[in-house]
Amino acid sequence: MREKNVRHSGVSRNGQNIEVRFRDAATAEAARRIIQEQFSELATNESAEGAEVKMLATIQPVAARKIQEQALKQNITTLHNRINELGVAEPVIQQQGLDRIVVQLPGIQDVARAKDLIGRTATLELRLVDDSVAARDAETGAGAVPFGSERFLERDGRAVIVKKQVIIAGDSLTDAQPGFDSQTQQPKVDLTVDAKGGRIMRDVSRENLKKRMAIVLFEKGRGEVLTAPVIQGELGNRFQISGSMSVVEANDLALLLRAGSLAAPMEIIEERTIGPSLGAENIAKGFNSVTWGFVAVAILCLLHVVWRHLQRVIGIQPVAAGGGFCPCCRQRSPCRAWRPWPWYWVWRLTPTY
């Protein structure tokens, strides 16, 4: 609206809505046409409040659902990249429902580090430091933050006023590797940006020599200045981040920057740790089944041996039922047709001498 010379009385956010106030209806109508041309996914609604006109801009449900799906897909891709950096074999990362992602990490050893890396957004931005008099007063708390600037803290607690204009963001990074500074022997992270980012860095550094540039890392909406060095010369597509960070922090930061930032912050709502109890239970059941199988076979073999021994010692002989004759052929011994039927047999004990 500023480019179209459409003036408003104020812009504020109310939940998921954006409120814009205008002094008259003609200006509100002009702003509505601009919003419909440039932001088709927004639905506007005007209402009069006294002498002003309030416009309420709301994102349409279809557009919101599309943005949510895109953010979820990007988060899944980023999680794949981060977990691959951890060296986990055959991880499972899949969508569950509309706004959930299930992550399974078999064989992970450091669960706390994996949770920390999965949940971090890690959005990197490079901005110029505001070195004006008002900004210096704001750093000490003696004044307000100038318009177009923001106040962030460094790791040691010092305040830094940086401009809102972003020079390059994390999506311009192509590589990030941890290392050690050759002069101070402190941990560092070497960053490499693409051709477009390198061209922007050369132009900005050439125009802002002897000024400070801040590298801001955003975690779930909270920004922190990693370092704010002075630009000593023309920069290219390679530069480094160094400051008060440990070796582990440098490695994690390089991993996060290589894998990419999350499109939307995530929170762990459920965590389950499955140990080897299920496998041990299955092994125990298999061992028991084999043991009882051997016992059953041994008992059957023993009974068979005892039975054959009784036949030899005390002379157990089968005699056909029905008066000692076979029902079909009237013989003393049962014929082959009746031998399989045990209920036609009686047993006579005949001692052997």
Chain segment 120-142, per-residue pLDDT in tens: 777 888 899 988 888 888 888 88
* 248 plus 320 within the same structural domain: no
Distance between start and end Cα atoms, the chain:
123
The two structure tokens encoding residue 212: 């400070």
Lowest mean pLDDT of 90-104, 148-162, 197-211, 273-287, name the range: 273-287
Q: Is 95 inside any structural domain?
A: yes
| Residues sharing a CB contact under 8 Å with residue 155, sequence separation 6 or more, in sequence order | 224, 225, 226, 243, 244, 245
Lowest mean pLDDT of 50-59, 128-137, 342-351, name the range: 342-351
Q: Taking the mean position of all CA atoms in its chain, how far away is CA 24? A: 48
Instruction: Tell me if 105 sits within 8 A of 293, measured CB to CB.
Output: no
Say which residue, 326 or 280, is predicted with more confidence. 280
pLDDT at 42 exceeding the cut of 50: yes
User: What is the arithmetic mean of pLDDT over 279-292?
Assistant: 84
* 77 plus 189 within the same structural domain: no
* 202 plus 160 within the same structural domain: yes
In our burial notation (b when 16+ CB lie closer than 10 A, e otherwise), range 129-157 reads bbeeebbeebbeeeeebbeebbbbebeee
Q: pLDDT-based confidence at 279, cuts 50/70/90?
A: low
Q: pLDDT-based confidence at 350, cuts 50/70/90?
A: very low
* 241 plus 329 within the same structural domain: no
* 323 plus 207 within the same structural domain: no
pLDDT at 144 exceeding the cut of 70: yes
Q: What is the number of domains present in the chain?
A: 4
CATH number of the domain enclosing 250: 3.30.1360.200
The two structure tokens encoding residue 139: 């750093």
Q: Is 330 inside any structural domain?
A: yes
C-alpha dist (Å) from residue 255 to 79, 100, 168, 223: 11, 23, 19, 19
The two structure tokens encoding residue 11: 């812009």
User: What is the arithmetic mean of pLDDT over 56-69?
Assistant: 85
Instruction: Tell me if 25 sits within 8 A of 47, measured CB to CB.
Output: no
Q: Taking the mean position of all CA atoms in its chain, how far away is CA 89? A: 15
Q: Taking the mean position of all CA atoms in its chain, how far away is CA 286? A: 37
Q: pLDDT-based confidence at 338, cuts 50/70/90?
A: very low
Say which residue, 306 or 292, is predicted with more confidence. 292
Note the pLDDT of residue 328.
Answer: 52
Q: Could you identify the residue written with the tokens 């390679």?
A: 238
Q: Is 267 inside any structural domain?
A: no
Lowest mean pLDDT of 93-97, 104-108, 277-281, 332-336, name the range: 332-336
Please count the CA atoms within 13 angstroms of the CA of 326 that sit on its side-chain side: 14
- Bridge partners of 340? none
Note the pLDDT of residue 277.
Answer: 60
Note the pLDDT of residue 99.
Answer: 83
User: What is the arithmetic mean of pLDDT over 270-285?
Assistant: 74
Q: Is 181 inside any structural domain?
A: yes
Q: Is 332 inside any structural domain?
A: yes
Instruction: Tell me if 166 sits within 8 A of 157, measured CB to CB.
Output: no
Global confidence as pTM = 0.56
Task: Read off the pLDDT of residues 82-93 as tens digits, 9 standing for 90 and up.
Answer: 888 777 778 888
* 53 plus 87 within the same structural domain: no
Q: Is 277 inside any structural domain?
A: no
User: What is the arithmetic mean of pLDDT over 192-209?
Assistant: 87
pLDDT at 39 exceeding the cut of 70: yes
Helix (H, G, I), strand (E, B) or coil at 5: coil
* 128 plus 112 within the same structural domain: no
Note the pLDDT of residue 340.
Answer: 45
| Residues sharing a CB contact under 8 Å with residue 334, sequence separation 6 or more, in sequence order | 318, 320, 326, 344, 345
Backbone φ, ψ for residue 178 (5° rounding): -75, 160
Q: Taking the mean position of all CA atoms in its chain, how far away is CA 124? A: 19
Note the pLDDT of residue 292.
Answer: 93
Distance from C-alpha of 1 to C-alpha of 17, rounded to nearest angstrom: 18
Q: pLDDT-based confidence at 299, cuts 50/70/90?
A: very high
Q: Taking the mean position of all CA atoms in its chain, how far away is CA 122? A: 13
Note the pLDDT of residue 311.
Answer: 67
% of the chain at pLDDT higher than 70: 86
User: What is the arithmetic mean of pLDDT over 314-343?
Assistant: 49
Q: Helix axis angle, 111-119 relative to 247-259, nearest 10°?
A: 50
* 239 plus 306 within the same structural domain: no
CATH number of the domain enclosing 95: 3.30.70.3400
* 156 plus 241 within the same structural domain: yes
* 51 plus 78 within the same structural domain: no
Q: Taking the mean position of all CA atoms in its chain, how far away is CA 351? A: 83
Q: pLDDT-based confidence at 291, cuts 50/70/90?
A: very high
Q: Is 3 inside any structural domain?
A: no
Question: DSSP labels for 36-82?
Answer: HHH-TTEEEEEEEETTEEEEEEEE-HHHHHHHHHHHHHHHHHHHHHH
What are the helix (H) ranges across 87-194? 111-119, 133-140
Note the pLDDT of residue 333.
Answer: 52
User: End of a domain among 95, 119, 143?
Assistant: 119
Helix (H, G, I), strand (E, B) or coil at 119: helix
* 113 plus 130 within the same structural domain: no
Number of residues that make up the chain: 353
* 92 plus 143 within the same structural domain: no
Q: Is 305 inside any structural domain?
A: yes
User: End of a domain among 259, 276, 308?
Assistant: 259
User: End of a domain among 237, 259, 281?
Assistant: 259
Note the pLDDT of residue 310.
Answer: 73
Question: In terms of residue numbers, what domain contains 212?
Answer: 122-259
Mean pLDDT of the chain: 79
